Structure 1
Amino acid sequence: MSDKIITLATVTYEKAQLIKSLLDNDGVSCFLEHVNLIQGAISTGVKININEADFETAIGIFDALREVEYSDKHNAIPDYKSDFKILVPIDFSEYSNKAIDIAFDWVCKIKGEVTLFNCYFSPLGSALNFGDTNMYDVNAEELSMSLRVESEAKMEKCKNRLEEKIEKEDIKGVSVKTSIQRGVAEYEILNYADEYKPSILVMGTRGADKKVVDLIGSVTAEIIEMAKVPVLAVPEKFDYKGIDQLLSFAYLAIFEEPDYLALEKLLKILNPLNANITCAHVTKESDLDKNRIKMEHLENYTKKKLEGEINFEMIKNDDFWLGIEDFVQEKKINVLSFTTYKRNLITRLLNPSVAKKMLFHSTTPLLVFHAK
């Protein structure tokens, strides 16, 4: 490595001071940048700069501190073997049926509960305000009731199909529940998920209405960005042939704290399936040495702290998307997993997240975790 100055991390002022102290104690020279000299205690976005030649030592110290902080503050992840629940939002489309089949087969493998959820839009909640007068369609209540009855009939067919399969194949330890709500789909799904607390949420990436505008404002993309539980998004063109052919998972690491939580959850969710898990990172040739060191630290952590086997690989490609595509094809990856960060509305509109970009350019199911 050269003698140039690089940024080890960008953190709060308080954490930067702690890391600087630890680095100094180990003989690693560093200096802080973007410190608020007047109100240092409230500075954010403080850069810790080091000599590139000290990177390997410095990243070891930084990762050790990050592991301790993660272990101290994160809540215990539930044992999915004893309380496994899948929530499946559906709109009775072909893509919904595919999501139902995946969720049901998954629950059959682990044993647990699958809940089918439908939200129908009612005109009762969309009054037009003219001055002091609210105007409603005189048939709104009748239409709302009609939509409810239609949803109940379709939901009953979905539930009966699964229960007939349970009876025919004598499947034990699996139950099917349903819920129907009136309102805006993304809000109702998120509210129900907060109350139901599923282990994972499974849904298709397209709805019954196939207009191009629906791709831009996809309910699935909104759920991916806002849900508090892992979301498995199933693309419309994905050819599902059974859960036994859906057991090769790849997690895209970003070398940040969310990786620890995501990998721990991934192992607990997938271990009962005996799935193959690969943790990968796309890197440019110029960053390969530094990122390989980061990957080694992440690998050492998982081997020491987590139960289960994970393979680790570096993807060398200057084009992020091409690197992922080649990796998925070469390794025959069935499901691609990664962590997405919550973003405010303006940021999401102007600069869509990786989750949304991948959602509409992939025929591979995506299992998305969320940075807390």
Structure 2
Amino acid sequence: MKKIIVPIDFSEHSEFALKTAIKLAKKNNAEVYALHMLELSDTILTSSSDSQRPEALFFLKLAEKKITEFLDKDYLKGVKVTPIVKHFKVFSEVNDVAQKHEADLIIMGSHGASGVKELLIGSNTERVVRNANIPVLVVKNDLNEVNFEVVAFACDFSEDSIKAYLKACKLFDAMGSKIHLIYVNLPNDRFKSSIEIERLMVNFFTKADRNLDRMKDVHFVSDYTVEEGILNFSIKMGADLIAVPTHGRKGLSHFFQGSVGEDVANHSTLPVITFKI
């Protein structure tokens, strides 16, 4: 892990993300890119009028000044932090910036969203998770430690999930984390017997690891929704981090609709990291 992107909106939660990034950067000798997306009106952005250009330039310079002031903190010392200001507030651009700088991780601060607000507009975090091709770590609090010794990895044991699983194993094995894999068994037409789940597991680990060593780290959980199963078991087992593979807009292949990765990231009080399938 050498490069970390942190979207900054000057809120308390974006500072939680920045602090987490700095702690990880110090452990891995990485550099951090602090990204602020400037929200300008369509009129200013699309206008060819000379009168609009000074206004756009004013807001750009103001944003550059504000992010420089925001990054004037003692805890940043010892880490290379590069500020980036983009003109558009388009959340797919976070992934574009990450790709341009060959970043390994995006860290987002989030307070989540619920109820009508979530249904109507979702959250900025969900949009970044949906569009990012690299792992996205979502934090809700100021983390004292970023060791992530115990990780709960949600898995449906589909072949689609193998790529995300291998990425997660590479990251967590390097960090010395203990990975517990969680399979959430659902009622009604999505229910699977123990034998059916074990067959999925054998096929999955045979193709992913070429051995069945990690089968001992799998936990079957029964719940009414995948999200509830993941969150409830992660708390019960004392996990430091929840890891979820996601298709973004499609959701996990095992699941019925929506994106489980986005929902878990939005509602969990624990840190959540998503890996794109």
TM over 0.5: yes
Q: Does residue 125 in structure 1 map to residue 30 in structure 2?
A: no
How far apart, in 2, do the equivalents of 1:273 and 1:310 lie?
20
Counterpart position of 1:278 = 180
Counterpart position of 1:160 = 72
Which of 125, 134, 146 is residue 243 of structure 1 equivalent to? 146
TM-score by length of 2: 0.80
SS at match of 1:279: strand
Cα distance, 1:89 vs structure 2? 1.1
Q: Does residue 287 in structure 1 map to residue 193 in structure 2?
A: yes
**Maintained 8 Å contact 1:255/1:295:** yes
SS at match of 2:163: helix
The root-mean-square deviation of aligned C-alpha atoms, in Å, is 3.2
Which of 115, 119, 123 is residue 33 of structure 2 equivalent to? 115
C-alpha distance after superposition, 1:134-154 (max 9, x if no partner): 8x695x444423322232123
Counterpart position of 1:263 = 165
TM-score by length of 1: 0.62
**Maintained 8 Å contact 1:159/1:177:** no
C-alpha distance after superposition, 1:88-120 (max 9, x if no partner): 111111110001111111111122211111110
The runs of 5 or more residues in structure 1 that have no matched partner are 1-79, 128-133, 345-350
1:296–1:329 CA distance, 2 compared to 1 (3 A): same
Higher RCO, Cα 8 Å, sep 6+ = 2
How far apart, in 2, do the equivalents of 1:276 and 1:303 lie?
16
Q: Does residue 335 in structure 1 map to residue 241 in structure 2?
A: yes
AA aligned to 2:38 is Y
**Maintained 8 Å contact 1:267/1:307:** no
1:112–1:308 CA distance, 2 compared to 1 (3 A): farther
Counterpart position of 2:254 = none
SS at match of 1:153: helix
Paired positions, count: 262
SS at match of 2:133: coil
SS at match of 1:360: helix
Counterpart position of 2:253 = none
AA aligned to 2:32 is V
AA aligned to 2:146 is I
Cα distance, 1:330 vs structure 2? 0.9
1:289–1:143 CA distance, 2 compared to 1 (3 A): same
C-alpha distance after superposition, 1:154-205 (max 9, x if no partner): 32234332xx4364xxx5xx42222111112314323212212211111123
SS at match of 1:95: helix
Larger Rg, first or second structure (1 or 2) = 1
Q: Does residue 91 in structure 1 map to residue 9 in structure 2?
A: yes
AA aligned to 2:127 is E
AA aligned to 1:110 is N
Counterpart position of 1:72 = none
Cα distance, 1:319 vs structure 2? 4.1
Percent identity over the alignment is: 22
Q: Aligned ranges for residues 1-372 of structure 1 at < 5 Å? A: 80=1, 84-123=2-41, 124-127=44-47, 138=51, 140-161=52-73, 164-165=74-75, 167=77, 171=78, 174-206=79-111, 212=117, 216-235=121-140, 238-244=141-147, 246-284=148-186, 286-300=192-206, 303-304=209-210, 311-343=217-249, 352-371=258-277
**Maintained 8 Å contact 2:129/2:248:** no
Counterpart position of 1:65 = none
How far apart, in 2, do the equivalents of 1:310 and 1:184 lie?
45
Counterpart position of 1:67 = none
How far apart, in 2, do the equivalents of 1:317 and 1:289 lie?
18
1:362–1:120 CA distance, 2 compared to 1 (3 A): same
The runs of 5 or more residues in structure 2 that have no matched partner are 251-256
SS at match of 2:157: coil
